[in-house]
Amino acid sequence: MMVPEAGPPRRNVQATSVALDAEFHEELPQEPITQPEVLPRERRGARRLAAGERWIARMLRTGAITSGAMFVTSLGLELLPRDESVHVAIDLLRKGAASMLLVTPVARLAMAGTLLGLRGEWRYAAIAAGVIGLLALAVGAGFQA
């Protein structure tokens, strides 16, 4: 008499089918499930937060790359013969690159404040709006001086 071995079945053994009772077969759902399970609120919030962080990272990366490209282009224009139009283009590109480097963090602050407001975190959205307001006031006062 052979005693069956304990543990998992051996590999490369042909699978066998098991007949189900008719009662059990009727209990199974007849229609395929078409709607995925709804994610819990916490997981949806985490996904939204991750998407917001990706938008902010994308914006910062775009600002840095654009600014760097403008600066490198201005350096490339230095190789051209000195002409008034080349000098103006170099000046505009360098001022634009510096402005882009200064504006990118402010735009990040505005985007973060908006995303915080959309998430319902009003205190932090108000703080971000206050900081942007103070920056605008400082820039305005600087222009008048």
84-118 and 122-144 are packed helices; what angle lies between their axes, rounded to 10 degrees? 150
pLDDT band per the 50, 70, 90 thresholds, residue 104: very high
Which range, of 34-43, 53-62, 68-77, 81-90, averages the lowest pLDDT? 34-43
pLDDT at 54: 87
Give me the mean pLDDT over the 106-118 stretch. 90
pLDDT at 25: 55
pLDDT band per the 50, 70, 90 thresholds, residue 127: very high
- 83 secondary structure, DSSP code: -
Cα(107)–Cα(77) distance, rounded to whole angstroms? 29
